[in-house]
Structures are given as structure tokens and as C-alpha cells.
Amino acid sequence: MSFVFFLTLSLVGLLSLESTVSVRHWQWAAESRVNTLGNEDQVTNLPGQPDINFKHYAGYVTVNKENGRALFYWFYEATTDPEQKPLVLWLNGGPGCSSVGYGATQEIGPFIVDSDGLGLKYNPYSWNREANMLFLESPVGVGFSYSNTTSDYNKLGDDFTANDAYTFLHMWFLKFPSYKARTFYIAGESYAGKYVPELAEFIYDKNKDPSFYINLKGILLGNPETSDAEDWRGLVDYAWSHAIISDELHNIISESCNFESNDTWSNDDCNQGVEELLGQYKEIDIYSLYTSVCIGNSATTDEKSTQITFTYNSKMMPRIMGGYDPCLDDYAKAFYNRPDVQTALHVSDGQQLRKWTICNEKMYHDWVDSKSSVIPIYKKLIAAGLRIWIYSGDTDGRVPVLSTRYSLGSLGLRITKAWRPWYHQKQVSGWFQEYEGLTFATFRGAGHAVPIFKPSNSLTLFASFLLGETLPSAR
């Protein structure tokens, strides 16, 4: 066993979920000895990879040695001047869905899985043109991330996820110490609308101790779940306003469903009404109202991609899977289950493979801790001076623009720049409004995962966010 490997195991063993506070005992002087550890994770032979001019790394970071709990990451350096650009962590939601399968491979990473599930295409609008991008499969049980302790999977929830993500960051900085003091942002979409603020709050609180310090400057959220009551109300009103449900059904749900109640689903009329609404959405892609669903599967199985699961014992939003290209989920599944791909990404030896799925359905059902609202965290982060931007694709029925507007309205923020269009390539890209401490923007004609629909536009918004500049408001 080499000294470097032994040192890695020793550092990894310093933390467990139950004793996160032990971070203060870390000896950052060890950075000089582990400065090259990240090189062990450099990806050099990824099958089908296009020619690139930047480095990328993938592998595991152990967040709890005792339980054998490890999170999988994929990190792409910026295409130019990586040493001068910020670090951005991207999280997808679910809970239970992969940031590698969605964010990195379908949306904002430099490689998009090809339609045969065998190769990769270069994404000219990858966000690593503007920042160093770190994608994390979180929590354990998502994608390649795992635990050797079965009981860990019975504890999964918002707090567990934030703790492990925070531990991951500190351990990752030991692998890549040059990023330890780098300007840092967290971004994500969907259920990461809860993950991201929760992790940001965790970092903010721990930063009061200098030995914990992470240079967090802001968060960026796309079509985010924010407040259960407002998210449900927005889903219902959006379905009605976009002719998915009838006036009569809308009235029934509005009159019988109290989404702010702890026993919303004890009302039979409410249950039946919501069931009928979700039944209508089974016919189309709720993530993108005006695009096709995946009929049949050219890459793997004959399963339909669009699924809706609704449980009455939880106020959590229903799990719905789909997207555009509607079959991209299947292409990703075919790609990441290849032995040569898993070997290249340092996941397996190519013989003992890890079964990869884009979403873990069981995790959604077993989720033990979901905050009903992160609005109080918003208020805390705004008061702390963090940059907060929220964007919303306006053809998403899953976490529709109405849900986000209802949640933002509850903040009662003072408007500093009134509602107006923003432009991209001389066309209206959407509308935006600036508040004291927060910016909200829409994307015209984009579904739930905005960068899939508007890759160039979303890159423009991302660049503006990093610079803290107002979106282009003139043609």
C-alpha cells in the first residue's frame, strides 16, 4: 500500500455523519502531500469521448469510512483559464435522481449521451465554458453512490443528504486543494430546490468557524421545489390554465384540497381530484407540455419513460420521470452500464459492475425527511448577502412557473427592477424581475430541465449569474 493511498484512507476516515464537527481537527498542512491525489481520478479513456482541451476527473469520495459510505462525483475543469474561474456544484433532485445522468449528460455537461447509448456528443453550450463544474450523485443509493451499511438507506432524507454533501465537499477539497479557497456556488433543479438551500445554510452556519470555511457566494435554482403548499397549488392552477384539466375539476380540487394542512389527503374529493389530474398528465410529458413522450425504447427496454407515482402518506410532490429528448433517460442507462465506461470512470474494474439507474424509485418512497418549505432558509441566506437566482421554464407542469411565483410572493421582497423581457440573440428569451436579494427569470418555451430546451440561452443566464450582472434587457 503506497503512502499516498494510506494517507487518503486516513483522511477519509476522519469524518462520519455523526461527528461532522471533527472537521476542525483536519490538518490543512497536509494539502502539500495530497496535492496530486486528484490525478488518480483523471479520466483519460472514456469510450466515445470527443476531443477536448480540458481535464476531467471522476471517482469516489468516502464520507463515512465506518459504514463504507461513498459518493460518486464527476468534475470538469473550465475549458479556459480554470485556475481563474469559480467552482460550481450541480445537484439534481428526485429525491433519488442522478446529477450525472441528468445534469452532466443531458443538460449542462460537456458530453451528451448519443441516441444509440454507445457514444458521446460534445455540448458546445456546456457550463464549464464559464466555470469549473462538479457533479455529485447524492445521496448514497443514487447512481453509482453507495453504502456498505444497509441501514444507511433507511435514514435518507434532507438532513442526511446535506450532511453527507457537506462532508463530501471538505473531503473533495483534500483531493483538489487548489479549489479550497475558490469562489464557490451551488446550483440545481427540481427537488434540488430543497437540497441546494439546505446545503447552503449548512455551509453558512459552519463557516462561522474559520476551520470549516467554504467560500460560498450564491445559489442558482431551476424550476425548484420550494414550498409544498405553493408547489401543489401552482401545479393545479397551471394544469387548469393550460387546458390539462376542466373548470369543474379545478373547482373540485380548489375547494376540497387544503395543501397547507397536515392531513391534505384525508379528503376523498381531494384525493380523487388530484388522481384525475395526474391521470391526465400520464398522457403527455408533464416536464414539457408540448413535446412528445417516449413511445418504445431504442436503447434498452420497452418500458415507458413517463411514470407518475403518488402516495397519500406524504405531502411530497409526485415522482414523474420524463424529458426531452423523451428517451434520453434510456440512452444514459445504456451508456453507464457499459463495463468499459464504468472502468474509465473509476467505478468498477469492468468485471464486478455496479447497476446504474437514472432514478431510484424506492428512495422516493422511503424518504424520511422532507422540509415542507425552504422559504425560511431563503430569508436567512438573503439576509446573509448571498446571491440567489431562480429560473423557470414556462412549459413545465411538474414545478411550474406559477408554483415558483407563489413561493416568491410569500417572501414579500421589495422589487428593485420591474418585470420585463430579457433577450438572447435579439429574441425574447423570457421575462425577469429583480428583488432586493433575489433575481427571478423565466425561459420562454422551455420545460422542466431548461438547458435541454434552451442550451445557448441558459448558458447566457449562467454567465450573468456568475458575474452578478442584470440579464440583457435590450435587443
Q: Annotated catalytic sites, by residue?
A: 190, 396, 448
Q: How far apart are CA 172 and CA 134, in angstroms?
A: 10
Q: How far apart are CA 85 and CA 73, in angstroms?
A: 19
CA atoms within 13 A on the CB side of 23: 26
What Cα–Cα distance (Å) separates residue 211 from each residue in 13, 30, 52, 137, 181? 18, 14, 37, 26, 12
**All cell numbers assigned to 119:** 457514444
DSSP 210-242: GGG---EEEEEEES---BHHHHHHHHHHHHHHT
Judged on CB neighbours under 10 Å (0-12, 13-18, 19+), 127 is buried
Q: Give yes or no for a contact between 329 and 107, defined as CB atoms under 8 angstroms apart.
A: no
CA atoms within 13 A on the CB side of 372: 9
Amino acid present at 378: Y
Phi, psi torsion values for 364, nearest 5 degrees: -60, -45
Peptide bond into 95 cis (omega under 30): yes
Which residue(s) pair with 420 in the sheet?
A: 432
Q: Give yes or no for a contact between 63 and 17, defined as CB atoms under 8 angstroms apart.
A: yes
Q: How far apart are CA 273 and CA 260, in angstroms?
A: 17
Counting every residue, how long is the chain? 475
DSSP tag of 49? P
Q: Give yes or no for a contact between 2 and 149, defined as CB atoms under 8 angstroms apart.
A: no
First to last CA, the chain: 61
